[in-house]
Structure 1
Amino acid sequence: MARSGRMFEIIQMLRTSRSPLTAEAIAARLEVTKRTVYRDIATLQATRVPIEGAAGIGYVMRRGFDLPPLMFTPEEMEAITVGLSLIARTGDHSLEEAGATAMAKISEVLPSSEPSTAQTHLFVSSWHAIPDPAFDLRLLRRAIREERKLELRYRDGVGNLTQRIVCPLAIIYYIDGILLAGFCELRQDFRHFRHDRIEECEPLDLRFQGQSAALRKMWRDSHDLFHYETEENPP
């Protein structure tokens, strides 16, 4: 996460917390070190964000501090509400949690004249037929963002188990499954991996920085995203 985004998250956490938050608690939620939290809070305090507290005691946001309100048209709010609600149909639990947090943040900073996301007239079924994964799917999304290679222990449709080193490029969500698209070093080609056949997923220290955009374009130019390709083009 970029530093600006991380400091925004710290502000949001302190604004919504009913009790002081320690640097350790903030660091755990942001997945950074306590030293990073201390530096970020010092920077925020230097810019006159009213954060009070100290290391080892905890931090609070002084009352009265607010962020500029978000302005959305009713149509835009309906689009946001439906879009975030549809995340429940992906079967990606960590993504669903992030969607709920985003919805809460939007509701928090909406002007009182804007329609509330908690009182919507739009409802979305959360039904899906996606099997639960054997690992946290946020590992895939993080590896894609960081251009980090993954080591997969993958079982194909006929039961063969292989070890793969993959450059992850994209995740495709279907109503009954999730595919990871990536460049497979074993096959030296693009391959799709069903999430429920990935038995183990381990991020590596190996990177492919600066290559993901070109690889993703090559993949998109040569594949149809609306069909499973693990059967016709087995990994």
Structure 2
Amino acid sequence: MPNPGRMFEVVQMLRASRFPLTADAIAARLEVTKRTVYRDIAALQVAGVPIEGAAGIGYVMRTGYDLPPLMFTPEEIEAISVGLSLIARTGDHSLGMAGKSVLSKIHAVRPTHQPSIDQTHLIVSPWHSIPAAHFDLRSLRRAIRDERKLRLHYRDGAGQFTERAVCPLAVVYYIDGILLAGFCELRQDFRHFRHDRIEACEPLDDFFKGNGDRLRKKWQQSHDLFSECVPR
């Protein structure tokens, strides 16, 4: 009898591939026999999935095919459950709310025969040592997505207060802190700002549209996230 989870994986592989996939390639990926792949593809074709091709040549998926309701393997369900639970350790409350929204959406479209997303055998401690923020961290993530400059009211480790206009590029989550990486217009260089030392954060009317990816790549090339950027 065809396995719904495995058939979903076949569909995913064909949708993601730019070239025809042979039964050998699919079988190796799924760790099954070629005969099993042939049966799964035949069942999908009978169900109306637009797969074209033949044995020995390869298979392709016609464009425009919409996937059925979300289907996950048990291990994928466990990965989602643990990953979303770990969000609590960031102390980022708005991100935590978004995680709960993800869970509700998965519940809404998950077929009834799949494992529940509520994993009672996988327990993640919510404890963390990240200090509380003075503002909603959602504003940082939104500004990064919008490629919009921010004005930061920042107090450094010595207690000195400054105002900075920054092109925000990335939020880096550590065990004991969160950093905003950005291009500082005052210093004309990349700088890192501890979230708990940002006393206020205001979006500016200035944007850096089209430059976010370029600046982010340049920053990543010049900094080691897990040595030079450790919160201090």
Question: Above 0.5 in TM-score?
Answer: yes
- Structure 2: distance between partners of 1:206 and 1:119: 45
Aligned to 1:16: none
2:206 aligned partner, one-letter code: L
Unaligned regions of 5+ residues in structure 1, if any?
A: 1-66
For residues 131-184 of structure 1, the C-alpha deviation after alignment (integer angstroms, 9 at most, x for no partner) is 111100000000000000000010011011001000000000011110000000
The structure-2 alpha-carbon separation of the partners of 1:170 and 1:231, relative to structure 1 and needing over 3 Å to count, comes to: closer
Aligned to 1:129: 129
Contact 1:194–1:230 (8 Å) recurs in 2: no
Is 1:227 the counterpart of 2:227? The answer is yes
2:131 aligned partner, one-letter code: P
Contact 1:152–1:163 (8 Å) recurs in 2: yes
1:88 aligned partner, one-letter code: A
Aligned to 1:181: 181
- Structure 1: distance between partners of 2:229 and 2:142: 24
Q: Which structure's CA Rg is the greater one? A: 2
Cα deviation, residue 119, structure 1: 4.0
Aligned to 2:167: 167
Aligned to 1:81: 81
Taking structure 2 as the reference length, what is the TM-score of the superposition? 0.69
Taking structure 1 as the reference length, what is the TM-score of the superposition? 0.68
Contact 1:155–1:162 (8 Å) recurs in 2: yes
Map of 1:78-157 to 2, 5 A cutoff? 78-157=78-157
For residues 108-127 of structure 1, the C-alpha deviation after alignment (integer angstroms, 9 at most, x for no partner) is 21111111112442111111
- Structure 1: distance between partners of 2:230 and 2:124: 29
Is 1:196 the counterpart of 2:196? The answer is yes
Report the secondary structure of 1:214's partner residue: helix
Report the secondary structure of 1:101's partner residue: helix
- Structure 2: distance between partners of 1:147 and 1:119: 37
1:81 aligned partner, one-letter code: S
Contact 2:178–2:231 (8 Å) recurs in 1: no
The structure-2 alpha-carbon separation of the partners of 1:188 and 1:79, relative to structure 1 and needing over 3 Å to count, comes to: same
Contact 1:147–1:209 (8 Å) recurs in 2: yes
Cα deviation, residue 82, structure 1: 0.8
Q: State the 4+ residue runs in structure 1 displaced beyond 4 angstroms.
A: none
Contact 2:194–2:231 (8 Å) recurs in 1: no
Size of the aligned set, in residue pairs, is 166
Cα deviation, residue 231, structure 1: 7.1
Report the secondary structure of 1:175's partner residue: coil
Which segment is superposed worse, 96-105 or 116-125?
116-125
Contact 1:148–1:206 (8 Å) recurs in 2: yes
The structure-2 alpha-carbon separation of the partners of 1:231 and 1:80, relative to structure 1 and needing over 3 Å to count, comes to: closer
Report the secondary structure of 1:122's partner residue: coil
1:218 aligned partner, one-letter code: K
Aligned to 1:30: none
- Structure 2: distance between partners of 1:191 and 1:213: 16
2:69 aligned partner, one-letter code: P
The structure-2 alpha-carbon separation of the partners of 1:219 and 1:180, relative to structure 1 and needing over 3 Å to count, comes to: same
